[in-house]
Structure formats: C-alpha cells, structure tokens
Amino acid sequence: MEIAGTCDICGKPAKHLYTCSKCGRHVCAEHYTAEGLCTICASKKKPTSGPASELIIPESAKPTTVSPKDIKH
C-alpha cells in the first residue's frame, strides 16, 4: 500500500492526502471537505457572532446628553 503521508488532523497514514486551500494542511479524505478545506477551516468558516457585531453599539446604550434646563432642583 502506498502511503502519501500522514493526515495533519488525525495523524493517521493516508493513501491519498488533500491540501486545504486555506491553511495548507495535508489531510486525509475523512478530514477534507467538498469545499476544498480541511474540517478545521470548514468549521471556522461558519458564521458566528464575531467581534464585528460586538462593536455595534445600540442606540439605547449610548450616553444621553442632558441639557441643563431639564435638571430640576
């Protein structure tokens, strides 16, 4: 049996290795997705609530400016 190398994810010797188009890992068929990515990159690609959405401050959270005439004594 011809061994091409070992999978970078599971470490098992594989007859055929695939190269992830994103990270360049050499992975076995088990860890290679149809998208051309390894399973690690494929799982990272999933849309999640990243830091970008956290930067959006809702209008209600912004500090409101109180004009002096509204302050009652």
Phi, psi of 5 (to 5 degrees): 160, -165
Rounded to an integer, what distance in angstroms lies between the CA atom of residue 56 and that of residue 64? 17
Nearer of residues 4 and 10 to Zn ion, judged by Cβ: 10
From the list 15-23, 49-57, 58-66, the region that binds Zn ion by CB under 5 A is 15-23
3 belongs to the binding site for Zn ion (CB under 5 A): no
From the list 1-9, 45-53, 55-63, 64-72, the region that binds Zn ion by CB under 5 A is 1-9
9 belongs to the binding site for Zn ion (CB under 5 A): yes
DSSP string, 50-72: -HHHHT---GGGSPPPPPGGG--
